[in-house]
Amino acid sequence: MLEFEVDFADALIDIDRKLTVKGAPAQAELVIHTKTERAGHIWRSQITVQADDEGKVDLSKVSPSAGSYTQAQPMGLFYTQLAENASATDLFSDSVHHAIHTEIEAQCGDQVAKTVLTQRLTHSTVQRVEIREQDLKGVLFVPSSAGDKPAVLVLKKQAVAPLDEAQGALYAARGYTALVLDYSATPDLSADVDELAIFQLALGWLRDNASPKNNFIAVSGYGEGAELAVLLGVQLKAEVSAIIACEPSAAVPASYPLEVENCQAPILLASGQLHRGNDYQQAIGQRLQQHGFDYNFQWYSYEGVEQGLSFPHVPTLHSSASAEQALLLAQANKDLWFAIIGFLHQAVIEAARPSQLND
């Protein structure tokens, strides 16, 4: 009998899954297709594969002969999904607690096997709190586990874009209190401290209301938010505990204009080698090297990747020129997300050391 075997059928979106089909005739051809509702639109993918001598198809080992992609990839069916409506790009519903269910069907002659794989942006016990104070607006995500948690201030990809609640929710699932901040304009690199008042207010609000572990607050941003994260690290250096800046939207000349070497926090930068922000981040790295930066500095530049960095196991083909590039982007997303979590974990440990030395 044709059947699926799925590791972690229901788990957080950043968890690797292994998908295997068993019970097919030896060397038989199978067609496997997926269907997922994402933000009100249907996304699909399909491949044709051949079973081995035991009638089994392990998608981590078998290269499809036709379909959405043609390389062995355990989650390629997810990465290469495309929306039926080509204009649809949103991947998540309005509620971060809404699970993403992917229907998977395998056909081999008159045999059919079906299963459902569920991805979640956060744990059901993570609290979502809307912040609507006089000068501060955003959404706070609070981890479910007990005790003080380090915090992350999540910045917008574009000031005109909706809040990136998915990012904040996944940070909370990994143990970080996350404030996804709302604001109407992204300051340019020439902004002084007075022009960063709303961001300084947000950092202070997090310290006063979330009581972060080790007084730790990182700033995290993609696109315009990446440039802003570095700016905050420079101008508000005493208040920023770590800087995460991915895929900046700007390009810069040969020398980086900010005194980034004055940051008093570790820095993680990431972009695709084909993205225009790659030169931007290289200029930052060169400046840090020239000035002997004392803190942890990590720069990830992903070969073959142009744009679309996000977190793991989301569709990437709609952001890529080809299926091959989509798989490279998917691998970059996976590598980057766990690099970020490891970077933050180390930064939180290092933030505790001064207080421990004073005890």
353 pLDDT exceeds 90?
no
Give me the pLDDT at residue 125, please.
Answer: 96
Greater pLDDT, 280 or 288: 288
Residue 263 is predicted with a pLDDT of 97
Task: With a cut of 90, say whether residue 356 has pLDDT above it.
Answer: no
**Euclidean distance between CA atoms 288 and 308, whole angstroms:** 26
| pLDDT tens, position by position, 79-128 | 999 999 999 999 999 999 999 999 999 999 999 999 999 999 999 999 99
pLDDT 10s digits, 168-183: 999 999 999 999 999 9
* Band of pLDDT at residue 252, cut at 50, 70 and 90: low
Q: Where does residue 12 fall: left (phi above 0), alpha (psi -120 to 50 degrees), or beta otherwise? A: beta
Summarised one tens digit per residue, pLDDT across range 140-174 is: 999 988 789 999 999 999 999 999 999 999 999 99
pLDDT at residue 359 above 60? no
Cα-flanking dihedrals φ and ψ of residue 292, to 5°? 65, 55
Confidence of residue 358 (pLDDT cuts 50, 70, 90): very low
Give the pLDDT of residue 254.
59
Angle among Cα 254, 260, 261 to the nearest 5 degrees reads: 105
In angstroms, rounded to a whole number, what is the distance separating the alpha carbons of residues 199 and 333?
27
Q: What is the mean pLDDT of residues 185-193?
A: 94
- Which domains, ranges and CATH numbers included, belong to the chain? 3-120 (2.60.40.2240), 127-358 (3.40.50.1820)
What is the per-residue burial (b if ≥16 Cβ within 10 Å, else e) of 304-328?
A: bbbbbbbbbbbbbbbbbeebebbbb
Distances (CA, A) of 24 to 28, 57, 110, 286: 7, 8, 11, 56
pLDDT band at 249 (very low <50, low <70, confident <90, very high): confident
Mean pLDDT of the chain: 95
One-letter-per-residue 3-state SS of the chain: CCEEEECCCEEECCCCCCEEEECCCCCCEEEEEEEEEECCEEEEEEEEEECCCCCCEECCCCCCCEECCCCCCCCHHHHCCEECCCCCCCCCCCCCCCCEEEEEEEEECCEEEEEEEEEECCCCCCEEEEEECCCCEEEEEECCCCCCCCEEEECCCCCCCCCCHHHHHHHHHCCCEEEEECCCCCCCCCCCHHHHHHHHHHHHHHHHHHCCHHHCEEEEEECHHHHHHHHHHHHCCCCCCEEEEECCCCCCCCCCCCCHHHCCCCEEEEEECCCCHHHHHHHHHHHHHHCCCCCCEEEEEECCCCCCCCCCCCCCHHHCCCHHHHHHHHHHHHHHHHHHHHHHHHHHHHHHHHHHHHC
